[in-house]
Copies of this chain bind each other. A is one copy, B any other.
């Protein structure tokens, strides 16, 4: 848990800001609230430390909401009690994202004379798509963000278990619900099995038509807008240190869909993928229930990449879904409760240079320049709204298991990550000094 005393200590001029956007419980998006009730979103915390106009201003972003976790999901320890085992700190949020948030709080506390002005944004809706954050950024763009020079996000993982990385892109996420309904009540499979079109059979036929066994998405047109791979880009992949075996061991599968490093990275970072997450409304408990569920909701998502368009993807999914149920009398409803765009930035940006130097200082090696297969909507959101430099600087290792059972951050990464953030402040201040000196020289000339 965030230490509120230390936390409040950091918060200076602006303390806690509350917003009136409709708040939604974690996994109930607004579209689903049955009674139309409007609830406030949880607060977003804005803070600042230092206002020296001679210094650059760095703004960190983090979130303190987490994915759901229950002991019975297969955790070895209570997911909500941080537990150290063999140098690893286990707990929900350890790496995504409470650990990194604490690491930069530690860094700010540790550095005696901060070489930069420091700001931060902490939200509690990231795992639900950062609802309302875009409105906050727009609202604060001319005030809170007006003097911010650099925005740093540490909300993803390295590609490796050992080698640090800088991230310059992430895939988007378009979540879909496909609802099939035959009536208002579940039916007994003895009394009705064999004479009705079962909604779950319909749904399974539909879900089965989405991806083939090679992982290729079967939705017509879905690959049409995917950015073409240039030769230069392909070369970038060659130099990345990536141990296929290590990655395979991290996730525990026997075999990947592809056999080479390049193919794997390309399919994780710059090609779309479709995953099916589960079905709501069907029998899901241990044991047997001889039921024909009356209403089932299949849930899947597509990780889109540049330059796929969300509204086009939505239309393609609907067109594909509505092709299927021709001979079924059941009701079909397709919706996209969440749609987040991909993000891509330029690794030649000055902020990335500072990040690279800080990593070299702390870890003694250059980082991998990587993308992230998962979705970090805030990177794109900050970049689009504030037009500032945005960098993703992960401190968690590839095997941290974000969103999974037994999520952890290693003590090593947590401490070196703290040092990295302190080093980054210094590198950014140097960057700024260099810029100032240059401009001074120019003025003299």
Contacts and interface: CB of A to CB of B under 8 A. Distances in A.
Contacts of A14: none
Contact of A186 (B26, B197, B403): B403
A193 interface: yes
Nearest to A175: B288
B251 A187 contact: yes
A92 B187 CA distance: 14
B290 A173 contact: yes
B284 A196 contact: no
A201 B276 contact: yes
Nearest to A267: B194
B204 A257 contact: no
A130 B74 CA distance: 31
Interface in A181-225: 182-198, 200-202, 204-205, 207-208, 211, 213-215
Interface in A223-267: 251-258, 264, 267
Nearest to A254: B329
B213 A291 contact: no
Contact of A27 (B204, B277, B287, B330): B287
A67 interface: yes
A438 interface: no
A295 to B, nearest CB: 9
B294 A301 contact: no
Contacts of A252: 182-185, 294
A279 B211 CA distance: 19
Contacts of A196: 251, 253, 256-257
Contacts of A83: none
A277 B291 contact: yes
A283 interface: yes
Contact of A264 (B195, B294, B405): B195
Contacts of A278: 200, 279, 282-284, 289, 291, 293
Contacts of A88: none
22 contacts: A28-B286, A28-B287, A29-B287, A173-B290, A183-B251, A184-B252, A187-B251, A188-B402, A189-B374, A190-B374, A193-B274, A195-B258, A197-B253, A198-B275, A213-B327, A252-B294, A275-B290, A278-B293, A279-B282, A279-B284, A289-B403, A291-B403
Rank and list the top 3 A-B pairs by shortest CB-CB distance, nearest first: A190-B374, A27-B287, A183-B252
Interface of A: 26-29, 32, 67-68, 73-74, 128, 157, 170-171, 173, 175, 182-198, 200-202, 204-205, 207-208, 211, 213-215, 251-258, 264, 267-268, 271-294, 299, 301, 303, 327-330, 337-338, 372-375, 401-406
